[in-house]
Amino acid sequence: MTNSSETPAQPHQKLMIIDGHSLAFRSFYGAPVDVFVNAEGQHTNAVYGFLSTLLSLIKSEQPTHIIAAFDLSGGTFRTEQYGEYKGGRNETPPEFLGQIELIQKVLTALNIPAVTLENYEADDIVATYTRQAREAGFEVAIVSGDRDAFQLVTDTVTVLYPVTTGPSKGIKYMTPAAVEEKYKVAPHLYPDLAALTGEQADNLPGVPGVGPGFAAKWINEYGNLDGVLENAEKIKGKKGEALREHVEDVLRNRRLNRLVDDLELQTTLADADHYGPEAEKLEELFNYLEFNSIRKRVAEVFATQQEAVPATEMSVENCQLIDSAPQLLEFLNGAAASIEAVERTIPVPERLESAVTLLPVIDEDSPDHGFAHEKSIHGLVLLAGARVAYVDFGSLTNDLKQALITWLEDSTATKTIFDLKQHFKSLSAYGYTPNGVIEDPVLSSYVCGYIPAAKQRTFNGMLAELSDRYLGLSLPQPQQAPAQGELFAVEPVVDLEHYGLVARYIQELAYVLHADLVAKEQLALYENIELPMASVLARMEILGIALDSNNVSELKDYYGQHVESATEAAYSVLGHEVNLSSPKQLQGVLFEELGLPTTRKLKSGYSTDADSLQGILGQVNEETAGAKFLVQLQTYRDYLKLKQTVEGLQKATAADGRIHTTFQQNVAATGRLSSTDPNLQNIPIRTEEGRKIRDAFVVAPGPIDGHEYSTLLTADYSQIEMRIMVHLSGDESLIEAYLDGEDLHRFVGSEVFGVEPEDVTSEMRSKVKAMSYGLAYGLSPFGLSKQLGISVDEATSLRTNYFKRFGKVGKFLRTVVKEAHNNGYTQTMFGRRRYLPDLGSSNRQRRDAAERAALNSPIQGTAADIIKIAMIRVDERLRAEGLMSRMLLQIHDELIIEVAHGEEAAAEKVLTEEMSQAADLRVPLDVQVGWGRTWHEAGH
């Protein structure tokens, strides 16, 4: 039924207004919780479902204006009138927490207003905008799963009702006819019907025994609710009696379900007509949310600058096989002209005007080349503009091979390659060293904020993900199905056009990401640190480090004996066997059989992790069976972990007797490196039993390429993160302490505790050391008290005294958090940014975690940048000075060099000078070195 005051809808004036909480909850229950979880454990299924529905509706409804309305936490005028209003609703699922805030951030990034008003519900905001739009001649589409919205339906107002289950899953269009067909009353009478029947979702009980059918019959007979109540005495039977007994409930229901449509709202309809994505904001959010394929849908729906490069442009031509040196030179000489000849949506950056894209075609079935993970290469695809050339490694003439080597090693011949580190290793196996690489989309995307999930850290996974994300295109598939699902496993090469097209995707990614680097002011970081770092890491991975296999075998047996001894001792305490690696069986033994104090509750029972069991040990008498069993269980776990570590090293040892770990350059938001296959950063150092493993890593036992190696040289930074914090805070007294060479923690202890430096006890020093590092990591007084085993009051007092004495440190830390809130990111001394979307979260836990990351990232990230700079300079200088000594490992803040015989003094000089001069700080970068035949001996 149309209100007579309405004017006809004007062309191209259509408001879509979304009941935000309603759609969010339906999205939550309509998408699997366990599938949508990001790396930080935040569930995102409601966000994904909400956005997916929104995109579908924008595409189908083509609104000119969009507004979203949300409830605020706390009560409204309705709860003031009736305290039980909505009181029967289930507790919000923990997986839903934080998702409303993320949805609102997505809307902000899409320039869609998210409107709230204290004391009122989203329904009232919806009603107000609906009235305003209707009076302005708009057509209105209300997206809501709340039936109260049906009262707003007219000929120009439709409720789009989401249905998440059943055969009618999708959007149900509730027009006047649809409402009347379902409820047998006109839309404006739906609240009268709901007043009689009640509304379970709102905890509004109606007339007992009266359903929609009877309620509609009464309303149609007497005109409306007022008519029904005026004629209540005429209604016979038990239902009439029930109605008369519950008149007050019915009147209350009608007062509460009447939507307010005359609110004063600051956001106007005019504010809702320019929706569309802000690319950078949306990209940051999608990176955090780990939303991938939906990016393409966003690009398609909004047709922004992120839109896919037109298919007509993503093509290749003039595919040629190169079988002679003159042909290769002709192709390379014409590269710049070829690149210029292709028209693009994204301009070619000046520095890439002559860069040739390289794509090695890998043979996945080939054996390794003596070090881990390397495969044979069929040949090399070269791309310039849309021109494709292929050099077949199986049929190279001497002249062609030499021409290819000359060009690959020429640092002035600029190149683009996807995953430089990996392909540097593969090409090196053939005697080729790729110099002059200026673009690698794997690294540029990382610097711009993209961190691949574990399952995407393959060549194919990253290329497909980045193509989808930045180009809005799916990775092309070869005409011949590849073996084992790998893109480049086709033998022989039969589809040069396909490989050329893949190279074209890489080329276009380089252009897009270069523009992103410039926009985010990350180009210098990328060019000076991350790009040269890739080649350094590749060389280190190729070299590996020698392992004493006899030592490892002995350690395996030694640790295994201790595992068996601890197992038998644990059985002896119990009087029976139990699987010591089974949490379920341990729960029965610990908390039922032995009656030990329970730990934190998990879904699977009480926790049996190391921290929990250590807490129990402090509560029980050491002479009890429970305490004795716990001691043996801990011993079993400690030695089992050590045994598994050496077993992993045995499996990872290559044919050359060396361990070739893989350094992951693009997985840590702070910029730090990690190590995998095997993880050498996990080699124990804190216990004597663990340090024995480091004795198995040795200097090369014999000559390599005619050179003897005498020793391992290790060097690490002393207190680098503390020195960075002192530098960034500018605290004069702490700077002076470092310049004077004082023991910083003893100096701080004397200031905090008010004693002379020589009177600072080891306990005092330990406390201020833990506090100093804790401040840099956002440690609270409670966390400090737990770490030091002191009261919260003592921890608070320590913290207060610290900031009283070193006020600039406190000011610096507060400024870091404030700037992070203002900018949405923190950055290192060298400009590396870390975006922290949760700084604006209303979820306190998430916000606190983001603030701790904001405190830590500039310090830890700067430390990561500094050691990378040092590694680049050490590598360059060793090679420039013609030294045969070589860098093998980076473990946290430590570098390990294998020193050639006779180069001991020169190697130490290079290492200490380049590490100590890697950054210009107000305090010295102190470097400590050690020597030894083994990694353990070289420790310091």
pLDDT digit string, tens, across residues 237-286: 888 888 888 888 888 888 888 899 999 999 999 888 888 888 888 888 98
* Secondary structure (H, E, C), 476-522: CCCCCCCHHHCCCCCCCCCCHHHHHHHHHHHHHHHHHHHHHHHHCCC
Compute and round to an integer the Cα radius of gyration of the chain: 34
Distance (Å, rounded) from C-alpha 924 to C-alpha 736?
Answer: 11
In a domain, 277, yes or no: no
Cα torsion at 699, 703, 709, 710 (round to 10°)? 80
Distance (Å, rounded) from C-alpha 107 to C-alpha 198?
Answer: 34
Q: Tell whether 317 and 426 lie within a shared domain.
A: yes
Residue 819: enclosing H or E segment and its boundaries?
helix 807-823
The per-residue pLDDT of the chain, averaged, comes to 86
Residue 492, pLDDT score: 43
CATH of the domain at 552: 1.20.1060.10
CA distance readout (Å), 823 to 519, 535, 817, 834, 838: 15, 33, 10, 10, 12
Q: Tell whether 264 and 360 lie within a shared domain.
A: no
Count the domains in the chain. 4
Percent of the chain with pLDDT over 70: 91
Residue 166, pLDDT score: 47
Closest among 418, 451, 453, 455 to 534, alpha carbons compared: 418
Average pLDDT, stretch 176-187?
91
| Confidence grade of residue 367 (pLDDT, cut at 50, 70, 90) | very low
Residue 90, pLDDT score: 62
For 482-511, write each residue's pLDDT tens digit.
Answer: 443 344 434 444 478 888 889 999 998 999
Residue 777 has pLDDT above 80, yes or no: no
Task: Give the least confident one: 90-94, 441-445, 672-676.
Answer: 90-94
Residue 15, pLDDT score: 94
Q: Which residue is listed with tokens 């975006």?
A: 835
In a domain, 301, yes or no: no
Q: Which residue is listed with tokens 């958090």?
A: 817
Residue 474, pLDDT score: 76
| Confidence grade of residue 600 (pLDDT, cut at 50, 70, 90) | confident
805 by Cβ neighbours in 10 Å (0-12 / 13-18 / 19+) ranks as middle
Residue 81: enclosing H or E segment and its boundaries?
helix 77-81
Q: Tell whether 598 and 580 lie within a shared domain.
A: yes
Q: What sign does the CA torsion over 763, 765, 768, 772 have?
A: negative
Return the SS3 of 472.
coil
For 107-120, write each residue's pLDDT tens digit.
Answer: 999 999 999 999 89
In a domain, 718, yes or no: no
Residue 146 has pLDDT above 70, yes or no: yes
DSSP-assigned states of every residue in 117-154: -TBS-HHHHHHHHHHHHHHTT-EEEEE-S-GGGGGG-B
For 800-821, write each residue's pLDDT tens digit.
Answer: 888 888 889 889 988 998 998 8
The model's pTM = 0.70
Residue 6 has pLDDT above 50, yes or no: no
Six token digits for residue 390: 């292929």
Residue 481 has pLDDT above 60, yes or no: no
- Looking at per-residue pLDDT, the higher value among 754 and 845 belongs to 754
Residue ending a domain, among 222, 251, 272, is: 272
Residue ending a domain, among 518, 540, 562, is: 540
In a domain, 317, yes or no: yes
Q: Tell whether 451 and 593 lie within a shared domain.
A: no
Q: Are 620 and 626 in contact (CB under 8 A)?
A: yes
CATH of the domain at 326: 3.30.420.10
In a domain, 628, yes or no: yes
Residue 463 has pLDDT above 70, yes or no: yes
Residue 468 has pLDDT above 90, yes or no: no
Six token digits for residue 856: 């830590």
Q: Tell whether 367 and 486 lie within a shared domain.
A: yes
Six token digits for residue 139: 């057509």
In a domain, 363, yes or no: yes
Q: Tell whether 267 and 313 lie within a shared domain.
A: no
Residue ending a domain, among 630, 659, 688, is: 659
Scanning 290-419, the segments in alpha helix (DSSP H) are 294-302, 325-333, 335-340, 398-409
Domain region containing 636 = 547-659
Q: Tell whether 388 and 535 lie within a shared domain.
A: yes
Cα–chain-centroid distance for residue 87? 37
Residue 11, pLDDT score: 46
Backbone angles phi, psi at 413, to 5 degrees: -90, 100
State in Å, rounded, how far the first CA of the chain is from the last one.
Answer: 85
Distance (Å, rounded) from C-alpha 93 to C-alpha 203?
Answer: 19
Residue 111, pLDDT score: 92
Residue 366 has pLDDT above 60, yes or no: no
Neighbours of 66 (CB within 10 A): 26
Return the SS3 of 172.
strand
CATH of the domain at 120: 3.40.50.1010
Residue 3 has pLDDT above 60, yes or no: no
Q: Tell whether 557 and 504 lie within a shared domain.
A: no
Q: Are 345 and 313 in contact (CB under 8 A)?
A: yes
Average pLDDT, stretch 304-330?
67
For 512-556, write each residue's pLDDT tens digit.
Answer: 899 889 988 999 999 999 999 999 999 999 999 999 999 999 999
Q: Tell whether 359 and 437 lie within a shared domain.
A: yes
Residue 12, pLDDT score: 59
CATH of the domain at 778: 1.10.150.20
Residue 343, pLDDT score: 64
Q: Tell whether 808 and 846 lie within a shared domain.
A: yes
In a domain, 691, yes or no: no
Residue 311, pLDDT score: 35
Q: Are 46 and 28 in contact (CB under 8 A)?
A: yes
Residue 405 has pLDDT above 90, yes or no: yes
Q: Which residue is listed with tokens 């869609």?
A: 112
| Confidence grade of residue 2 (pLDDT, cut at 50, 70, 90) | very low
Residue 232 has pLDDT above 80, yes or no: yes
Pairing state between β 833-835 and 825-827: antiparallel
Distance (Å, rounded) from C-alpha 171 to C-alpha 27?
Answer: 12
Six token digits for residue 175: 């027009």
Neighbours of 650 (CB within 10 A): 17
* 568-577 LR contacts (CB < 8 Å, sep 24+): 569/632, 569/635, 570/629, 570/632, 570/633, 570/636, 573/625, 573/628, 573/629, 573/632, 574/625, 574/629
Residue 344, pLDDT score: 63
Q: Tell whether 462 and 578 lie within a shared domain.
A: no
| Confidence grade of residue 845 (pLDDT, cut at 50, 70, 90) | confident
Residue 41 has pLDDT above 80, yes or no: no
Residue 340 has pLDDT above 80, yes or no: no
In a domain, 774, yes or no: yes
Residue 312, pLDDT score: 32
Q: Tell whether 372 and 471 lie within a shared domain.
A: yes
Scanning 136-224, the segments in alpha helix (DSSP H) are 176-183, 190-197, 212-222
Average pLDDT, stretch 771-793?
78
Cα–chain-centroid distance for residue 426? 29
Residue 750, pLDDT score: 87
| Confidence grade of residue 454 (pLDDT, cut at 50, 70, 90) | confident
Residue 164, pLDDT score: 57
Distance (Å, rounded) from C-alpha 770 to C-alpha 232?
Answer: 76
- Looking at per-residue pLDDT, the higher value among 843 and 380 belongs to 380
Average pLDDT, stretch 163-171?
59
